[in-house]
Homo-oligomer: A and B are copies of this chain.
Amino acid sequence: MIKQFEPYRRLIEQWLSGFLLSRGKELGKANRWGTDVTKRLSTFATKGKLLRGCLLLFSGRMFDKESENSALEVASAYELIHSSLLIHDDIMDRDTQRRGMPSIFCQYKNLIEDEKAKDPLHVGESLGICAGDLALFFAFEILARVNLDPNIKQRIIYLWSRELGNVGIAQMQDVSFAASMCEPEEKEILSLYLYKTARYTFSTPLITGAILTGQNQGTIGILEELGEYFGLIFQLKDDELGLFGSEAKLGKPVGTDIEEGKKTLIMHYLSGMLEDEDKRRLDTIRQKERILSSDLEFIRSAVRRTKAQERIEKMMNEMERKAENLISKLKVKEADRNILFDLLSFSLRREW
């Protein structure tokens, strides 16, 4: 992440660890899972980039230096919601690695195996569903207790729950696309990116910071649109890294998007550009549950040859210009504007 977010990251990491440690002590009195799940959530939640929480804190501070105390708890709650979604996503996608360690359901699968109990995969998934649910309950508990104007709090809970509704049905779309053989249209893929990633990852944290500091609808509108461009760029870059990135830097294997049947825009373009034998080979690879490194190499070289990635880069560059325009419109200090430009540049050029 950009270095200017590092202090925010540390604040959230510290606050979340403290909160989960204290809740773990309380819940640990009921049974062993109270301590177990809060420890795992603490490690899992604080190992991420904490991009959403940092953005929220940054957005609040950009408008009002004094916003940080309550914003920190709100940002931590948002990160727990994100962890909740990731934990559930990993079950759906059967992703065994996340943030450089086994995903939560895999950790539980391993635990159940060690304890020689029945059906470790299913029980691991079940405990994973519970862990994701718990992360969400903790998030709303934090929102309920944070010292904040009750009207502002109400607006934030409304904003989040509405946006999470969009995320939920986008995730259903994603799951059903991955399971089916049909190729969605370009606009369906972009709508999925908008609702599953862009608005939730960028628009919502930016808007939350603005609500916390009482900004007007004009500013909120700019942040909403800016967040959408940021998020689309972020997702398109994610797809690129999922194909061309380094496993060590990403903390998860490369090529799993294909194995999981993810209908990414790059694969959509590539599929439309290949013909005959190449097209058939691509289709065969896309139906495999485990792809070989030669399969990945075939796709990489086809992407280069057809210049499918250049088409996406052109799209990203247009979005970058629009985002730059929106950033210029924001009435904020020069230093904060530059942080937004840095973040934009990072989103386009990151390697993880």
Contacts and interface: CB of A to CB of B under 8 A. Distances in A.
Contact of A134 (B122, B155, B169, B175): B169
B123 A175 contact: yes
B150 A165 contact: no
A30 B198 CA distance: 14
A117 B180 contact: yes
Interface string A104-123: 00000000100101110011
A261 B118 contact: yes
Nearest to A157: B144
Interface in A234-273: 261
Interface residues of A, number: 67
B88 A133 contact: yes
Interface in A171-188: 171-173, 175-176, 179-181, 188
A173 B140 contact: no
A129 interface: yes
A199 to B, nearest CB: 11
Contact of A166 (B27, B158, B171, B192): B27
B144 A191 contact: no
B126 A34 contact: no
Interface string A148-159: 001101110110
Contacts of A94: 122
A117 B172 contact: no
A51 interface: no
Nearest to A24: B169
A23 interface: yes
Given A137-B164, A150-B153, A171 B115 contact: no
A229 to B, nearest CB: 19
A325 interface: no
Interface of A: 23, 27, 30-34, 36-37, 85, 88, 91-92, 94, 112, 115, 117-119, 122-123, 125-127, 129-134, 136-138, 140-141, 143-145, 150-151, 153-155, 157-158, 160-162, 164-166, 168-173, 175-176, 179-181, 188, 191-192, 195, 261
7 contacts: A127-B172, A129-B129, A137-B164, A137-B168, A141-B161, A144-B157, A150-B151
